[in-house]
Amino acid sequence: MSYQLQVALTVIIVLAVIFLVLYFGLGVVFFLIALGNKKRPDMTVPCKDSLFERNADNKNLIAGYKWYDNTYHQEVIIKNRKGENLHGVEFRNPSNSNIWAISLHGWTNVNREMSSYAMEFYKRGFNVLLPDLRGHNNSEHKFVTMGWNDRLDVVDWINSIVEENPKSKIIIHGTSMGGATTMMTTGEELPENVILAIEDCGFTSVKDIFVDQCIRKYHLPPKIVMPQASLVNKLLNGFFFGEASAVEQLKKSKTPTLFIHGDKDDFVLLDNLQPVYDACAAPKEKYIIKGAEHAVSSHWFHEEYWEVVDAFLEKYLYNNVQNTQN
């Protein structure tokens, strides 16, 4: 082999190695950015440029924080089906209600940032459970799973409540990633104690939201980034992005579900609403909050939001409780 050919082959090999490192490296970097641990040293300090930082002066958010900090609550730990610890915070209502609201936070958030929702459920006489989703707050899991593995954890939380109180009535509620988790959970076999679900600005699937973010936020080509990121996720979290579909889960749902979305949402676009609504096999309603950006419908359109929620509760929860008592 001539010296020139050896040099050419060496250059080709080096370039190929560089290409492969970059090709797979982009996927790994995207995985770590999207699904790396989101724990924060101080849960009272919002993430930089998060909706909680941008809306820090909102009176409903402020009222929720004050309520959370001044209302008795306790940390709870249960074992999931794999024997792993699940962490959360619960508020036991002094009314001794049998009704529980499980409220699920969004990506990069902590359970305290669901306090304005928890406060409203508590005012209605409900007990409230705020689980730490995977990779957040006190969760012992290293990586975020965008609702997919969390859905089974939520089922385990539900079963824990039912085991303690077989007469319990349970609401599942969530925003953004928590909304997707809510929808994914309803596709599982749930006890009859689960009466309804409320999802707020959730996405159609993990693959869809990441493809969208690749294009709109990171300006990266999904065909280059997503296959490797999905493969890394399969190795570390146990599933490919395409498997984690709220749409497919909703096709199996028996849980009456209220779908809420803001029409100015620029993170989980309004385009996500119709596919999940159409897929839902259970009784369903949808409501679009005009003027609401991502995950702030309840904060800036508080009365409108909770009027819609109350009407849904009246239809599917309170009537159910009355029928049970009769």
pLDDT, averaged per 10 consecutive residues of the chain (326 residues), comes to 62 54 73 91 84 91 96 97 97 96 96 96 98 96 97 98 97 98 98 98 98 90 90 95 98 98 97 98 98 96 98 90 47
pTM score, two decimals? Answer: 0.91
Q: So what's the pLDDT on residue 86?
A: 98
Dihedral sign for Cα atoms in the order 288, 289, 292, 298 = negative
Q: Are 12 and 81 in contact (CB under 8 A)?
A: no
Is residue 225 situated within a structural domain?
A: no
Number of other residues whose CB lies within 10 A of the CB of residue 135: 23
Q: So what's the pLDDT on residue 3?
A: 62
Question: How many distinct structural domains can be found in the chain?
Answer: 1
Dihedral sign for Cα atoms in the order 127, 299, 63, 54 = positive
Q: Burial of 27 by CB count in 10 Å (0-12 exposed, 13-18 middle, 19+ buried)?
A: buried
Is residue 237 situated within a structural domain?
A: no
Q: So what's the pLDDT on residue 39?
A: 87
> Which residues constitute the domain of residue 249?
36-205+244-325
Is residue 180 situated within a structural domain?
A: yes
Is residue 69 situated within a structural domain?
A: yes
Is residue 229 situated within a structural domain?
A: no
Q: So what's the pLDDT on residue 318?
A: 85
**Two tokens, residue 256:** 């009456």
Is residue 210 situated within a structural domain?
A: no
Is residue 150 situated within a structural domain?
A: yes
Is residue 73 situated within a structural domain?
A: yes
Residue ranges with strand state E in 74-224:
74-79, 85-91, 99-104, 127-131, 169-175, 194-200
Q: Burial of 179 by CB count in 10 Å (0-12 exposed, 13-18 middle, 19+ buried)?
A: buried
CATH code where residue 68 lies:
3.40.50.1820
Q: So what's the pLDDT on residue 51?
A: 86
Q: Decide: helix, strand or coil at residue 33.
A: helix
Q: So what's the pLDDT on residue 10?
A: 58
Q: So what's the pLDDT on residue 323?
A: 46
- Return d(Cα 198, Cα 308) in angstroms, integer: 11
